[in-house]
């Protein structure tokens, strides 16, 4: 292994892909910065990528400005149900929860499911769960030491006001005739609401000191969704993915997404993605071998904007950025893509 720090990078997206007003840009950047810093602090302390990415997500879920954990969208019944998933690129183990209520940090449950699965089979040869939903997920979390949090305490003034506003719109719509024009108006109304932040998720991707990658994603889901609905943030191979390099593939890759390929039938496909790809190389020096990791990272979105942050252990602070579509372009019909490259070095013992 390489000695010292340097070979670790965290890339986070706070309040994911959606719309980020100029008035709240500072808050979005701050939460992204804190998430990156928390992940890198974990990496500097020797934590593996999967633990660092979970730490970043906890910071994002705790922010009242994101649609994940605290401040999530309310469903039709006025309750908060969250989805989250996490994947370890080293073991390829995956953990997820769907439509879980009463847990402040759903990603901690997903991560605990992952770590418990890595311990092997249960008594009598039973296979441990990797994906739990609803009440079963909540009870499993509590039985494994994750404290419950009343759903009403997870709501914020913003999420409650959005729920009341959306409920009034639905009640008015139901009083009107349900012709083709009205159906179109409802769809447009839903799109406008989603454009104000209802589609957003949060996510992070990380590479650690040993070159392991991990990814995680968390979401409060769509506003006014039907109780029990599980979104793409919890689905295997859809919300996030992480896979270390192997003999046939020299690249390690971690991905976290917002939006879904199942939206292709819609007029406007709204979504975003953050990607980290890295490969290892060793350069011989006169007195020592220098081991390096070449890291490429990018973010892309079809929504109006996307807030991202990124940081390596060599950085004094995280860099943050709100990426926006070019002026005059149409969200859902246009694409923005940005990114960067860095080379991280360490001494091989």
Q: Indicate which residues carry an active-site annotation.
A: 201
Taking residue 265's Cβ as centre, other Cβ atoms within 10 Å add up to: 6
Question: Residue 238 and residue 257: Cα distance in Å, rounded?
Answer: 7
From residue 181, give the alpha-carbon distance in Å to each of 177, 252, 261.
9, 49, 27
Question: Residue 9 and residue 292: Cα distance in Å, rounded?
Answer: 13
Question: Residue 298 and residue 302: Cα distance in Å, rounded?
Answer: 14
DSSP 260: -
Q: Retrieve residue 212's tokens.
A: 């392991």
Number of helices (H), then strands (E), in the chain: 7, 14
- Sequence-distant (6+) residues with CB within 8 A of 174 are none
From residue 109, give the alpha-carbon distance in Å to each of 73, 134, 172, 221, 327.
19, 12, 39, 17, 41
Residue (of 181, 207, 221, 198) closest to 39 by Cα position: 207
Question: Residue 188 and residue 96: Cα distance in Å, rounded?
Answer: 32
């Amino acid at each position: 292994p390489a000695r010292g720090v340097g070979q670790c990078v965290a890339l986070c997206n706070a309040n994911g892909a959606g719309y980020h007003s100029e008035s709240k840009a500072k808050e979005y950047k701050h939460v992204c910065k804190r998430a990156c810093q928390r992940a890198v602090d974990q990496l500097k302390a020797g934590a593996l990528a999967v633990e660092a990415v979970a730490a970043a997500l906890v910071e994002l879920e705790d922010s009242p400005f994101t649609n994940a954990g605290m401040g999530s969208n309310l469903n039709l019944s006025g309750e908060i149900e969250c989805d989250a998933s996490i994947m370890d690129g080293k073991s390829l183990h995956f953990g997820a929860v769907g439509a879980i209520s009463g847990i402040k940090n759903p990603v901690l449950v997903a991560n605990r499911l992952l770590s418990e699965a890595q311990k092997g089979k249960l008594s009598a040869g039973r296979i441990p769960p990797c994906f739990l939903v609803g009440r079963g997920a909540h009870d499993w979390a509590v039985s494994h030491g994750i404290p419950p949090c009343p759903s009403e305490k997870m709501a914020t003034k913003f999420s409650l006001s959005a729920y009341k506003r959306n409920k009034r719109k639905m009640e008015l719509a139901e009083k009107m005739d349900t012709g083709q024009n009205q159906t179109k108006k409802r769809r447009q109304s839903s799109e406008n609401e989603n454009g104000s932040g209802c589609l957003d998720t949060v996510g992070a991707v990380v590479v650690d000191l040993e070159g392991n990658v991990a990814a995680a994603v968390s979401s409060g889901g769509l506003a006014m969704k039907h109780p029990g609905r599980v979104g793409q943030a919890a689905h295997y191979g859809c919300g996030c993915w992480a896979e270390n390099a192997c003999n046939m593939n020299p690249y390690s890759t971690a991905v976290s997404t917002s939006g879904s390929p199942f939206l292709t039938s819609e007029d406007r496909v709204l979504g975003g993605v953050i990607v980290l790809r890295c490969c290892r190389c060793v350069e011989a020096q006169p007195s020592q071998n220098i081991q390096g990791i070449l890291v490429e990272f990018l973010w892309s979105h079809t929504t109006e904007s996307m807030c991202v942050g990124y940081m390596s252990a060599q950085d004094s602070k995280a860099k943050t950025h709100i990426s926006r579509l070019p002026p005059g372009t149409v969200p859902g019909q246009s694409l923005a893509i940005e990114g960067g490259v860095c080379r991280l070095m360490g001494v091989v013992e």
